């Protein structure tokens, strides 16, 4: 039987060869078709990825084309402004009736820049009050409730409350302020209504978890009582406002290690600290600020944003002592708005009229580690316009790319804005030029 089969096989070799040839042709044809389909799929996926990138105007959540595989890219841009300091003339300039206020004109020029952000932050320097409790400025800053409505409507999301004026309304005003923030949907850090509340916030911004904490200088007595500006902000053994004492920094550092570990346990991928520190009206950071910033960098903090001096202070690029972490630090944002006009100040330098919108972007590629991929700043100047008996205060962005002449009605205002820009550039630009981002390493 075996020989019979072999014989039959040899006898039909030509026919078999012909069949094999046809099969090979069909196989080659199928292979070519398969290759064409794969190439077509790659082209379609590439075009789809490109269209998604182009369609995503803000670039906050994109798909990067890597051929057949696509990698999701998430970005979150956070912007921060300095002290919202409403002296009585600022409050009066926005009064629309006997007990009604509208602060939206104050933000009208900066609003488009805040709305472009994924998350807007501002230092809320004072407390919210009522007509019965009274409104006031220095030394006790108590504001109409309408200011929080206008601040939120202008695009800000979070209020920094660890500052030396959070206790100006005494315990009643303190609780009222935080209750109103909650009621109106404003995020806030630096203070808490009770000891159950956390001393930090982990916020999901466009799919990236950012851990944030806010601390202010103050005095911590031997019995545990805490005060800012001489006003108690806690009862014994309670810390409702995040306060550090310059004379007790080792305890502060130990506390921050615990908080940073807690933030990371909750998924924080980037750590940001907002510090209320330094010397008022000094355009350079002091030794305490420098040392504290280094210690925070050593702990893994990625961005440090400072305030309190009411003037701008430099930007610095800090590397942790073990070389494993890099930190962007701006020591003071200056005033967002105030009545600290050059003509009213003992130091007639104009620095108290200057501020900045400081921005930084966080990027995360797929499952990779999140990193600070970019940073920028826009100097701001507070313009004061007198109309009758009122003064209108406007936060003006000094954006060279767009020009700012249209914001003003006189050449004097334009000249003052240019001087403000030059002052701000002199303080911020040298340090800003030293910044290195993870994508540049």
Q: In Å, what is the CA distance from 51 to each residue of 64, 66, 116, 368? A: 11, 14, 22, 23
Residue 263 pLDDT:
98
Domain boundaries along the sequence of the chain: 2-55, 74-440
Q: What are phi and psi of 138, to 5 degrees?
A: -55, 140
Q: Which CATH number is correct for 74-440, 3.40.190.10, 3.60.21.10, 3.40.50.300, 3.40.50.1370?
A: 3.60.21.10
Residues 6+ apart with CB under 8 A from 130: 145, 176
pLDDT (tens place) for every residue of the chain, 441 residues total: 334 333 333 334 444 344 345 444 544 544 555 555 444 454 444 444 444 444 443 444 444 444 455 678 999 999 999 999 999 999 999 999 888 999 999 999 999 999 999 999 999 999 999 999 999 999 999 999 999 999 999 999 999 999 999 999 988 999 999 999 999 999 999 999 998 999 999 999 999 999 999 999 999 988 888 888 888 876 655 689 999 999 999 999 999 999 999 999 999 999 999 999 999 999 999 999 999 999 999 999 999 999 999 999 999 999 999 999 999 999 999 999 999 998 888 888 999 999 999 999 999 998 899 999 999 999 999 999 998 888 999 999 999 888 888 899 999 999 999 999 999 999 999 999 999 997 665
Residue 51 pLDDT:
44
Residue 97 pLDDT:
87
pTM of the model: 0.85
Residue 206 pLDDT:
97
Residue 345 pLDDT:
84
Residue 85 pLDDT:
97
Any long-range contacts for 205-208 (C-beta under 8 Å, 24+ apart)?
A: 205/76, 205/78, 205/118, 205/119, 205/362, 206/60, 206/61, 206/74, 206/75, 206/76, 206/118, 207/61, 207/74, 207/76, 207/364, 208/74, 208/75, 208/76, 208/269, 208/270, 208/362, 208/364, 208/370
Q: Which DSSP letter does residue 164 get? A: T
Q: Over the range 244-255, which residues count as b (16 or more CB within 10 Å of their CB) and which as e?
A: beeeeeeebeeb
């Amino acid at each position: 039987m075996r020989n019979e089969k072999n014989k039959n096989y040899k006898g039909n070799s030509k026919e078999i060869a012909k069949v094999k040839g046809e099969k090979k042709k069909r196989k080659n044809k199928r292979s070519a078709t398969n290759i064409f389909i794969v190439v077509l799929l790659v082209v379609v996926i590439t075009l789809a990825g490109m269209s998604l990138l182009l369609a995503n105007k803000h670039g906050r959540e994109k798909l990067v084309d890597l051929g057949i595989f696509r990698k999701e890219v998430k970005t979150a841009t956070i912007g921060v402004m300095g002290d919202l300091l409403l002296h009585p003339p600022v409050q009066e300039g926005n009064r629309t009736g006997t007990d009604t206020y509208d602060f939206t004109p104050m933000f009208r020029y900066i609003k488009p820049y805040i709305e472009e952000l994924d998350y807007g932050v501002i230092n809320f320097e004072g407390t919210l009050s009522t007509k019965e409790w009274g409104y006031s400025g220095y030394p006790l800053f108590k504001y109409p409730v309408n200011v929080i409505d206008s601040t939120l409507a202008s695009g800000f999301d979070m209020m920094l409350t660890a500052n030396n004026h959070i206790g100006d309304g005494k315990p009643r005003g303190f609780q009222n302020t935080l209750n109103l923030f909650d009621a109106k949907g404003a995020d806030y850090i630096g203070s808490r209504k009770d000891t159950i509340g956390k001393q930090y916030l982990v916020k999901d911004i466009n799919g990236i978890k950012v851990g944030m904490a806010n601390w202010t200088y103050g005095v911590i007595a031997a019995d545990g009582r805490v005060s800012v500006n001489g006003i108690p902000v806690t009862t014994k053994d309670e810390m409702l406002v995040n306060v550090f004492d310059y004379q007790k920094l080792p305890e502060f550092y130990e506390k921050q290690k615990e908080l940073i570990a807690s933030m990371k346990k909750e998924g924080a991928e980037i750590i940001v600290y907002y510090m209320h520190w330094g010397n008022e009206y000094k355009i350079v950071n002091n030794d305490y600020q420098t040392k504290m910033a280094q210690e925070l960098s050593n702990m893994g903090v990625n961005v440090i944003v400072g305030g309190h001096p009411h003037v701008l202070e430099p930007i610095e690029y800090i590397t942790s002592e073990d070389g494993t972490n890099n930190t962007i630090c701006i020591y003071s944002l200056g005033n967002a708005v105030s009545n600290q006009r050059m003509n009213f100040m003992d130091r007639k330098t104009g620095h108290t009229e200057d501020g900045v919108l400081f921005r930084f972007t966080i990027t995360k590629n797929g499952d990779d580690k999140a990193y600070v991929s970019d940073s920028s700043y826009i100097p701001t100047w507070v313009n004061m316009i007198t109309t009758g008996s009122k003064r209108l205060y406007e936060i003006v962005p000094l954006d060279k790319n767009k020009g700012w002449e249209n914001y003003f009605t006189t050449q004097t205002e334009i000249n003052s804005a240019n001087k403000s820009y030059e002052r701000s550039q002199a303080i911020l630009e040298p340090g800003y030029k030293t910044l290195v981002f993870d994508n540049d390493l």
